[in-house]
Structure 1
Amino acid sequence: MSDEHTETGTGWPRPAGPARPGGPAGEPDPRPDAPDPDELSPLSPTERPAAGDEPSAEPGSADPPSADPVEGGSDAASAGGSSASAGGPWRRLSPAAVMIGVLLVLLGFTLAVQLKTTSTDPSMATARQEDLVRILYDLDAREMRLRQDIAALEESQRQLRSGEQGRQAALEEATRRADELGILAGTLPARGSGLAVRFEAGSKSISAVRVLDAVQELRGAGAEAMQISGGDRASVRIVASTYFLDGPGGSLIVDGRPLTGPFTITVIGDAATMRTALNIPGGVVAEVARDGGNVIVEDREVAEVSALHTPSRLEHARPVG
């Protein structure tokens, strides 16, 4: 046996190499639960640098090789992973989802523009401040009149429900309603404050359409009774069934009766409200003036509507009572 091998007691020679330090410090720990000497190494197998890359410590230096590069690399990897995960949802957006979002935005914009267009009245946008004030006054007057009607009806209801006075109140209410219906039907004369609206023809005669427009404007402004008179002082009561036709020579045919100009409509109602209705932009006064004519509106403290309407004979309907 050569000097380069030593006896191991197993029959096989031990390879030559650095001798293990002798003495108690070089012998293995005899305890059964003693840890493996490799586990006591300051560097784990995964963190131990490769052979040839281990930095050589200078003599006298007691500091172990720093593990900062490994930790720094780990931090950088963590930061890169979180960044990638943050951008993940945006990368998952498909072109179809983007197109749907764009279409929804366009739909909302179209609806907003349409609502703005429909809510804007072009005639109101071009009206003067004085005309807007008149229209507002007209609306306020209508609201006040409706509130008064509501209060009167509620008072009548209260009286009709009150014990002994119910019968007398019912009789008075029936009489009042009969008078009102008689005035509306044109079978009773009426008197009250109102207007006298006179139509004077210009280059063109006053057409039936202009007179009908005036009647409708006055009804919308709260007219309670109306009649129209011609130059020959013939008068016709205006009711719900009244019709107007153009006659020969600039005349009008009202409910089958011819009337010559100039024409005057006598109306009972709130004078200020009815005047405002006639003078609105593009209304009756403006249209007649565009045709070369003129409309003269006069207030009357006492306006009399004396012409009566003959009701038609009922052939099939009978009152029930």
Structure 2
Amino acid sequence: MSPRKRKPDPEASPPGEVDPALAAYEDEVPDETESVETRPAASQTPSQGWGRLARMGRPRFTKANLLVTALAVLLGFAMVTQVQQYRASGLENMRQEDLVTLLDGVNQQSGKLGDEINRLTRTRDSLRAGGGDAAAIKAAEDRLAALGILAGTVRATGPGIILTIPDQARQIQPNNVLDTVQELRDAGAEAIQINDSRVTANTWFGLTMQGQLIVDGKTLTAPYTVRAIGDPHTMSTALAIPGGVLETLRQLGIAATVASKNPVEVTALRPSEVPGYAQADTAR
């Protein structure tokens, strides 16, 4: 930056003449009025405007925002996990042959129930028509036999399966046995026996302090033999479905086997119990 020159005294020059030093000074000093008026005004470009808008909409990392984000992620993970578990435990992973077999078992069970309805309807019509005491006695005996099988007070025989479960390491839990019984009942099992214990609606399962299986207060020893009377093909397929009883036992390191047999004999009996509180309602 060049040093500012001293303004010359105009009285030093003769009248009518322009001092050369004053002319040079006026050329070098800029005109403040002209510079202010002709200075270009600052303008804002579109890119700067969008940048400012982006900075305004930028999320602020506060504790509340972080907490809400974490809860949303956990909720989404839980929902996805639940959907995957539901799909894995459903019928989507079953083969077409297994689905056809299950459908066939359901149709057979439906047919049996339809036959039972027709038989009871004929018995009712016969009794209403005055078929005599013989028809009433026969109907009562059939009904008593059916109730005896369900209650476990009479022996049963018929086609079915025998499930053998080795358990030398005592890894079987009561819930594994309960799942097996429920799977067999869903597949149409009409009578079930585990070793020498009859399984009915009142049966319960537990473990001893040593890890041995208890059925209705009776300690059982391995291997466990489950006898079930019903359609052998339907029950075998029900036990072998993906995620079912056999697969669960394999995950525990237990190689259970299923064998179809005709006849299967269920000989274990439960004592006949008289209800202590419930009474028959004969008012209707």
Pair 1:213 & 2:179 matched: yes
What one-letter code is carried by the residue in structure 1 that aligns with 2:181?
V
What one-letter code is carried by the residue in structure 1 that aligns with 2:98?
D
In the other structure, the counterpart of 2:250 is 289
Deviant stretches of 4+, over 6 Å: none
CA shift, 1:264, in A, is 0.5
In the other structure, the counterpart of 1:273 is 234
The answer to whether the Cα contact below 8 Å between 1:213 and 1:284 also exists between their aligned partners in 2 is: yes
1:236 & 1:266 partners in 2: Cα distance? 10
Pair 1:160 & 2:127 matched: yes
In the other structure, the counterpart of 1:225 is 191
What one-letter code is carried by the residue in structure 1 that aligns with 2:242?
P
Task: Look up the SS of the partner of 1:307 in the other structure.
Answer: coil
CA shift, 1:198, in A, is 0.8
Aligned length: 196
CA shift, 1:310, in A, is 1.6
TM-aligned CA distance change 1:131 to 1:202, over 3 Å: farther
* Identity within the alignment, %: 40
Given the alignment, which residue of 204, 224, 233 partners 1:263? 224
Task: Look up the SS of the partner of 1:188 in the other structure.
Answer: coil
Q: How much is the aligned-residue C-alpha RMSD, in angstroms?
A: 2.2
* Residues 154-208 of structure 1: CA deviation (Å, up to 9, x unaligned): 2222222223x24321111011101111111111111222111111237662221
Given the alignment, which residue of 186, 192, 200 partners 2:152? 186
Task: Look up the SS of the partner of 2:225 in the other structure.
Answer: strand
Task: Look up the SS of the partner of 2:219 in the other structure.
Answer: strand
2:228 & 2:191 partners in 1: Cα distance? 6
* Residues 263-297 of structure 1: CA deviation (Å, up to 9, x unaligned): 01111111112112111221111111111112211
2:169 & 2:192 partners in 1: Cα distance? 27
What is the TM-score with the length of structure 2 in the denominator?
0.63
1:262 & 1:249 partners in 2: Cα distance? 16
In the other structure, the counterpart of 2:205 is 244
What one-letter code is carried by the residue in structure 1 that aligns with 2:149?
I
The answer to whether the Cα contact below 8 Å between 1:199 and 1:206 also exists between their aligned partners in 2 is: no
What one-letter code is carried by the residue in structure 2 that aligns with 1:228?
I
2:99 & 2:255 partners in 1: Cα distance? 23
What one-letter code is carried by the residue in structure 2 that aligns with 1:131?
D
Decide which structure has greater helix share.
2
Indicate the structure whose relative CO is greater, using CA pairs within 8 Å and at least 6 residues apart: 2
CA shift, 1:146, in A, is 2.0
Task: Look up the SS of the partner of 2:228 in the other structure.
Answer: strand
The answer to whether the Cα contact below 8 Å between 2:93 and 2:242 also exists between their aligned partners in 1 is: no
What one-letter code is carried by the residue in structure 2 that aligns with 1:302?
P
In the other structure, the counterpart of 2:260 is 299
2:144 & 2:122 partners in 1: Cα distance? 18
Task: Tell me which moved more, 248-257 or 209-218.
Answer: 248-257
Structure 2 gaps, min length 5: 1-82
1:137 & 1:273 partners in 2: Cα distance? 8
1:313 & 1:161 partners in 2: Cα distance? 31
2:227 & 2:197 partners in 1: Cα distance? 10
In the other structure, the counterpart of 2:63 is none
What is the TM-score with the length of structure 1 in the denominator?
0.56
Larger Rg: 1
CA shift, 1:125, in A, is 2.5
TM-aligned CA distance change 1:228 to 1:159, over 3 Å: same
